[in-house]
Every structure is written in C-alpha cells, then in structure tokens.
C-alpha cells in the first residue's frame, strides 16, 4: 500500500508540488529541480526517493552533496511529506531508505535544514538524532516600499573613485569573463561564514549552475570592477513566483568597507524594480553581522530562521 521507490523524471511535477506546499518560501518548478540534478558534477551523488500511498506520491526525500562545499562522505538531505500524510512513519521510512542507499558511500555526516517554526520537522529531526549545527536568517524586502533615497549618490561616489558597475551581459566582450567571475565567486564564497569549508566550483560547474541555470538573469548579475579587476559581485535569481532572491553578494577583502556591497545590492534592486518584481529574498548566516546590517539598511525584514542540522553516522570521527 505504501511503496517507496526511486523517483522517475515524471514524478517531479508532484515532488515540486509537495515541496512547494510544505516550503512555500522558495518555490521551485519540476523543471528547475530536474535542471539542478542534471547540472551536477559527476562526482555529486544525488538521488530522489518517493513514497506512494494509494499509488499517489505523498512524500519524497532526496540526498545530494554540496558542489561548492564538497566532501565525499557528507550528504545533504531534503524532504517533504504532504501534510495529510504526516505521523504515519513515511518520513522515517524514507530516511531509512536513504541511509541504506548511502551505505556504499560510507557516509559520515547527514545534513539538512528546517525552518525554526516548523515543529513537525524539528521533532522529526530530533527524533532521528539530528542536532543543530548552524543558523541562517532569511530576510525579505518588499520592493514596493523600497526607499532608494538612503543610497543617493553612493554609486556616483564609487564611480568617481574608479569603480565601474557592469552586468555580465555588458561584459561579454571580455573573453576571460566567465573564468574571472568563477574565481571571484569562489573567493567570496570562501569568506561566507557558512560553517563549512568551501571547495569552490570548477569553471564548467560555475557556468552550468550559476550562469546558465534557468533562474539566472544576465542583467541581474552585477560586477564591481576596478582597474580591470573583478572585485565584487551581486547575483539575483528569479523564482517561479517571479520573486527575486539573492544568490550571492560578495566583495574581495581588499575592497571592503567602501560601500561596494551596498552599491551592488542597489543595482540588483534597481534591476528587480524594472522587472516589476515585488519581493526579494536573501539569507545570511546568523553570525554574518556585517551583511545582516547591510540588508537591514535596505529594509530587508527577518523571516523565520533556517536551522542547519547534522547527524554524524557511525564511523564518523
């Protein structure tokens, strides 16, 4: 009656439906999920399981690995159970199926995240031996009420200091653009206090998962340039509800403290406003006080915190 099996491509419409029902804050379409899976580097182990009740998918769980924080024995889980089918042990069965499927890879750490206000998820994770590792603050900016006056003159001041702000479609003539963006992305990612060591992306992976992915918009990827050097980035994506989300904002250490991150964010917001986008989301680590302060200045307001959980498996040091 309850069947757990590997997901087929045709299952993804229902998987996305359940995930968006349970976690509406960052909706994904089926094609985005499939795209994400297909874009992974071959070293990434990823698999979706679905649970069917009366032949209809009512839950899924997947495991994958961080591309840019890669460890061969660390796995990231994501799951959702349709609210009408909770407390039936379906999540536990899926988790056990995942753990057994992972055995050949000798996993030592399972990680996942849950929103702080989702009691059901928190209890499930505590029950299965996951413990809190890290907190990320989700923030939302209502673009309809965005007040740009606070930032008047900022961009002009920086331009006067020799900085230029270009979106990546304006940088196509730079034959090294993608490599430079990739290097900068990896450099700033290394400085994001995520609590996990960054391993960076290869150029090929950067292209696939950042530049060419369906949520990306070339005109929303802004670069700060100084003397020909790419020194800061702000990349905005657009989700299936036509809301914007900040993929990354970062500035090289030597260029911090000058308002570059704010200028880059401002560029991103200006672009979003031209697109008629109503909301912008971002997430920062709770300990990343400087970025949280910048976001607050822009009018981003706190939404429920995402807690990262980890479970060490036997064999883990």
Cα–Cα distance for residue pair 71/163, rounded to 1 Å: 37
Residue 1 interacts with another protein (CB under 8 A)? yes
Q: Judged by CB under 8 A, which stretch of 81-89, 188-196, 249-257, 266-274 contacts another protein?
A: 81-89
Residue 92 interacts with another protein (CB under 8 A)? yes
Cα–Cα distance for residue pair 73/59, rounded to 1 Å: 25
Q: Judged by CB under 8 A, which stretch of 82-90, 145-153, 176-184, 205-213 contacts another protein?
A: 82-90
Residue 316 interacts with another protein (CB under 8 A)? no
Residue 13 interacts with another protein (CB under 8 A)? no
By CB under 8 A, name the one of 6, 43, 87, 157 that touches another protein.
87
Q: Judged by CB under 8 A, which stretch of 17-25, 96-104, 156-164, 218-226 contacts another protein?
A: 96-104
Residue 2 interacts with another protein (CB under 8 A)? yes
Q: Judged by CB under 8 A, which stretch of 29-37, 99-107, 193-201, 301-309 contacts another protein?
A: 99-107
Residue 88 interacts with another protein (CB under 8 A)? yes
Cα–Cα distance for residue pair 146/4, rounded to 1 Å: 47
Residue 123 or 297 with smaller CB distance to another protein: 123
Q: How far is the CB of 98 from another protein (least distance, A)?
A: 9
Using the structure block, give the residue that is written with the tokens 């009656």: 1
* Paired tokens of 304: 């429920």
* Residues 105-164 interacting with another protein (rule: CB under 8 A): 127
Site string for another protein, 46-65 (x = CB under 8 A): -------xx-----------
By CB under 8 A, name the one of 109, 213, 248, 313 that touches another protein.
313
Residue 99 or 154 with smaller CB distance to another protein: 99
Residue 97 interacts with another protein (CB under 8 A)? yes
Q: Judged by CB under 8 A, which stretch of 92-100, 185-193, 242-250, 253-261 contacts another protein?
A: 92-100
Residue 100 interacts with another protein (CB under 8 A)? yes
Three-state SS for 79-147 is EEECHHHCCCCHHHHHHHHHHHHHHHHCCCEEEEEEECCCHHHHHHHHHCCCEEEEEEEEEEEEHHHCC
In the complex, the residues that contact another protein under the rule CB under 8 A are 1-2, 4, 53-54, 87-90, 92-93, 96-97, 99-100, 103, 127, 313-314
């Amino acid at each position: 009656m309850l069947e757990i099996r590997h997901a087929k491509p045709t299952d993804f419409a229902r998987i996305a439906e359940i995930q968006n029902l349970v976690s509406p804050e960052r909706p994904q379409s089926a094609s985005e999920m499939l795209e994400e899976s297909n874009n992974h580097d071959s070293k990434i182990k990823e698999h979706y399981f679905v649970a069917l009740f009366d032949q209809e998918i009512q839950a899924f769980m997947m495991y994958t690995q961080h591309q840019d924080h890669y460890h061969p024995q660390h796995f990231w889980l994501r799951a959702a159970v349709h609210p009408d089918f909770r407390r039936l042990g379906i999540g536990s069965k899926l988790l056990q199926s995942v753990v057994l499927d992972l055995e050949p890879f000798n996993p030592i750490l399972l990680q996942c995240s849950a929103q702080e206000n989702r009691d059901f998820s928190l209890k499930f994770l505590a029950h299965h031996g996951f413990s809190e590792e890290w907190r990320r603050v989700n923030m939302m900016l209502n673009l309809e009420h965005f007040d740009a006056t606070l930032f008047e003159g900022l961009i002009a001041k920086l331009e006067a200091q020799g900085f230029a702000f270009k979106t990546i479609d304006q940088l196509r003539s730079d034959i090294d653009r993608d490599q430079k963006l990739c290097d900068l992305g990896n450099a700033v990612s290394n400085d994001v206090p995520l609590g996990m060591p960054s391993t960076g992306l290869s150029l090929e992976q950067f292209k696939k998962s950042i530049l060419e992915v369906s949520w990306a918009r070339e005109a929303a990827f802004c670069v700060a340039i100084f003397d020909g050097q790419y020194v800061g980035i702000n990349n905005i994506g657009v989700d299936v509800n036509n809301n914007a989300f900040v993929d990354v904002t970062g500035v090289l250490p030597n260029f911090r403290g000058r308002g570059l991150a704010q200028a880059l964010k401002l560029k991103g917001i200006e672009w979003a406003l031209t697109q008629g986008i109503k909301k912008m989301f971002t997430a920062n680590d709770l300990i990343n006080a400087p970025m949280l302060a910048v976001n607050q200045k822009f009018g981003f307001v706190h939404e429920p915190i995402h807690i990262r959980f980890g479970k060490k498996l036997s064999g883990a040091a």
